Amino acid sequence: MLVAQGAGGNYRITVAGLDTVVSGARWHDDVLSARFDGLARRFTAHADAVRIHVHDGRHRLQLAPSEVYRREGPVQGTDDRRLQSPMPGRVVLVNVKPGDRVNAGQELLVIEAMKMELGLKAPRDGIVGEVRAAAGDVVEADAVLVTLEA
């Protein structure tokens, strides 16, 4: 299993107990570029509905994203007044505004991460207090995106 931690293009990847430091990662127009332990690399990369395909000109790698994001710290639900981003990404769609009544499980926002979209849902019934992100915003992991009242 591969575990990646970080945000904003800077990550630590752990595989079989070995760490790799990734810095300056950018994915644009099917080109992934980054420094791995200081060594600059470029790959062709694209995602389909099931896998992320990466090719360096000699070797191919296929990754299957996990549907569940596992945090090492507190998890969503410890404070059901706040809806947090589970990972770094870009806000694609905001479906609510302050004062809207929402139901548990209702999709409030959609974020895009690694060319995949993730709908973020209300953890409980309530009224939207604040919306702290807009479509197009880039957000970090654990950023509070929506607050709920009563």
* CATH 2.40.50.100 domain range(s) in the chain: 82-149
pLDDT digits (tens, 9 = 90+) for 86-109: 888 889 999 999 999 999 889 999
pLDDT digits (tens, 9 = 90+) for 118-130: 889 998 999 999 9
**Domain spanning 82-149, CATH class:** mainly beta
Q: What are phi and psi of 84, to 5 degrees?
A: -110, 155
69 vs 31, 85, 86, CA distance in Å? 25, 10, 7
What is the strand order of the sheet 52-55 is part of? 2-7, 10-15, 18-28, 31-36, 39-47, 52-55, 60-63
* pTM summary value: 0.52
